[in-house]
Amino acid sequence: MSGTLTLNKITAQRGISVGEAAKKIADLGWNPSYVQEAMTFPTDYKITKAPKDPMKQVLRSYFPMQEEKDNRVYGALDAALRGDMFRNVEPRWVEWMKLFLAIIPFPEISAARSMAMVGRLAPGEDLRTGFTMQMVDEFRHSTIQMNLKKWYMENYIDPAGFDITEEAFGKCYATTIGRQFGEGFLTGDAITAANIYLTVVAETAFTNTLFVAMPSEAARNGDYALPTVFLSVQSDESRHIGNGHSLLMSMLKEPENHLLLERDLRYAFWQNHAIVDAAIGTFIEYGTTNRDKNKESYAEMWHRWIFEDYYRTYMLPLEKYGIKIHHDDVQLAWKRLTDKKYVHKVGQFFAVGWSANFWRIEAQTEKDFEWFEHKYPGWYAEFGNFWKWYEKLSHRGQTNILFNGDVGYVYPHRCWSCLVPCLIREDIVTDEIDGKLHTFAHELDRWTAVNAFAGEYQGRPTPAMGRFSGRREWESVYHNVDMADAIKDLGFVRTDGKTLVAQPHLRFDAKEMWTLDDVRGHILKSPLETLRAMSPADREAHLAEYRKGFTINPCN
């Protein structure tokens, strides 16, 4: 018997090829003639050419593949417990997961919902299976992440914050930024939301920092669970990128789409940068205890993943189809991450507001300072004193850093567009929408809110475009409210009715833990309401002062 003869070869029979299977499946659809499908999710784009499915996707192979991926994930979680992972995990890291995992399941499930929108809009059936799989993938991501969070809650030293996770997501001054991300996937013009913002930009560019860079940092902090779950999640993204690119290619065929594509690529890139870099940059740079100078900083990773990979190989080639690419925006984002120290200003902002959140933030200390200075020259001069203050004021009995006049920090205005505050002070701009004054972190944020999210764009009617809505400035919800009352209203109090969920340290000792009484007596103010109440002259003077920035006082 031949040595190369195997049972598979003996029993093999003729089958249909993957390409043929995909072709037959694509033929399942038809054009209804009795009742037309309602176009319930409008778009201003014109799509006439049916997108192709580059992945040749078939559910028969999809489900077993995904089950196998799941088996590996759940097996690894069991192994992590058997290996006593939590004994060695860095609490500084896991605390930030309370924020990250509060946010991320909602954008994921929003992406599942948004597949309904592109599934109906895209002509032809070729890509429908791809959208179907993405829908089920996103359902996978959302519930697998909820499961991971539950697992942390059950096994980590301080479960508080995990135990209120979805409620906290709807209320917190930081998660509001994540909601802008998730709601952006499924509200407004269906193509703007579900194709450009979600798939072409968020998934194609920024999931690399979300789901690849973050797991690396998790592993450095003794957390092997997050990489297991999120690298498995990321393995689905290549299919989603394929879906997005295919639909994008079919839209490029219509010259009248080009103006909208330029608008949406601009909006989506800038806002993904503003939101994802704020959040993930902070988790990676401030949630870690690993200060290995040989590892890449967030900015260095961004340059590799976003600048080199995405900008050069994905965005730039779109120019040959006649799409105007705003090169300056990419350069500007890069400058914000490096020269303007965007991520560090976000980390500082989150730390200032620690008492109104639902996780612990530990002070950065001398051993962190050296790494920051090495990776971001000039960091120590700008942030060193702040973190010394933060450490000093982390003890009960001190005045909450948010209200402590000795520090020198000036609480920022909130950007009406990306919802991250206007942290690069010199870039703040204002404008009016429907006669109401708003603040913006950058001219591009103003353009997004005023020009892009409007019923007309450069003279072209855009009736399907969404609008910014709601009480977007979080601070206005608690304008003139005592800090303790606000925290109580938020539900960010432990079940003893007095101890705060958030703490400015990692001291797991009841005596060290701040309570409502420790933060009472300070009144929250909405910077926007305050600005609106000023006379025009006072407002200009205030903004001029704001643009000058602030200096943190020396901490002795």
Partner 1 sequence: MTAVPNVSVGSGAAGAAIFPDSDSRRYRYFEPRAKRATHYEDVTVDVQPDPERYLLQNWIIAFPNGKGAYYKDATAALSSNWHAFRAPDQEWERTHYQRQSKIEGMVQSVIANGRKSGAPKAFDKSWVKILQNHLGAWKHAEFGLGTSLMQAQRYGYTQMINNATLTNSSYKLRLAQDITLYLAEIGMDIPGFDDNAGKHTWLEDKGWQGTREAIEAIMGSGDYLEQYFATNIVFEPLVGELFRSKFLMQVASPNGDFITPSVISAAEADYERNLANAIDLMHLLVTDNQHGAHNKKLFQGWVNKHVALANKAAAGLQPIWSQPHSKPVQYADAHAQSVERIKKILGELGLVLPKE
- Of residues 18-37, those binding partner 1 (CB under 8 A): 20-21, 24-25, 27-30, 32-37
Q: How, if at all, do strands 456-457 and 460-461 pair?
A: antiparallel
Q: Give the C-alpha distances (Å, rounded to integers) separating 439 from 49, 238, 449, 523.
A: 41, 37, 10, 22
Long-range (24+ apart) CB contacts under 8 A made by 58-63 are 58/18, 58/21, 58/22, 58/25, 58/129, 59/129, 59/132, 59/133, 60/21, 61/18, 62/133, 62/136
The secondary structure of residue 360, as a DSSP letter, is B
DSSP bridge partners of 161: none
If the CB atoms of residues 153 and 332 are measured against partner 1, the closer one turns out to be 153
Q: 280-319: which residues touch partner 1 (CB under 8 A)?
A: 289-290
Q: Which backbone phi and psi does 134 adopt, to 5 degrees?
A: -65, -40
Closer to partner 1 by CB, 423 or 449: give it: 449
> Which of residues 103, 112, 247, 543 is near partner 1 by CB under 8 A?
112
Identify residues 75-104 at the interface with partner 1 (CB under 8 A): 84, 86-92, 94
Residue bearing tokens 């690419």: 325
DSSP state of 431: E
Q: Which of residues 497-516 bind partner 1 (CB under 8 A)?
A: 499, 501, 506-510, 513
Provide, rounded to whole angstroms, the least separation between the CB of residue 322 and partner 1: 28
Rounded to a whole number of angstroms, the minimum distance from the CB of residue 112 to partner 1 is 6
Q: How far is the CB of 546 from partner 1 (least distance, A)?
A: 23
Piece of the chain touching partner 1 by CB under 8 A; list 206-214, 258-266, 268-276, 464-472:
464-472
Amino acid at 500: L
Q: Any idea which residue has 């930030």 for tokens?
A: 96
In the range 346-405, which residues lie near partner 1 by CB under 8 A? 362
Question: String of b and e for 93-120 (b: at least 16 CB within 10 Å)?
Answer: bbbbbbbbbbbbbbbbbbbbebbbbbbb
Return the residues of window 183-242 that contact partner 1 according to CB under 8 A: 183-184, 186-188, 220-222
Stretch that binds partner 1, among 106-114, 236-244, 317-325, 426-434 (CB under 8 A): 106-114
Q: How far apart are the first and last CA of the chain?
A: 84
Give the CA distances from residue 246 to residues 131, 207, 280, in Å, rounded to whole numbers and listed in that order.
11, 18, 28
Q: Which stretch binds partner 1 (CB under 8 A): 256-264, 376-384, 428-436, 471-479?
A: 471-479
Instruction: Estimate to the nearest angstrom the gap between the alpha carbon of 121 and the chain centroid.
Output: 26
User: Binding of partner 1 at residue 156 (CB under 8 A)?
Assistant: yes
Selected binder of partner 1 within 43, 66, 243, 439 (CB under 8 A): 66
Tokens of 419: 């919802």
**Which region among 169-177, 306-314, 387-395, 438-446 touches partner 1 (by CB under 8 A)?**
169-177
CB 51 within 8 A of CB 124: yes
Please give the size of the binding site for partner 1, defined by CB under 8 A: 123
Give whichever of 139 and 307 is closer to partner 1, judged by the CB atom: 139
Residues 239-268 close enough to bind partner 1 by CB under 8 A? none
For partner 1, the closer CB: 186 or 337: 186
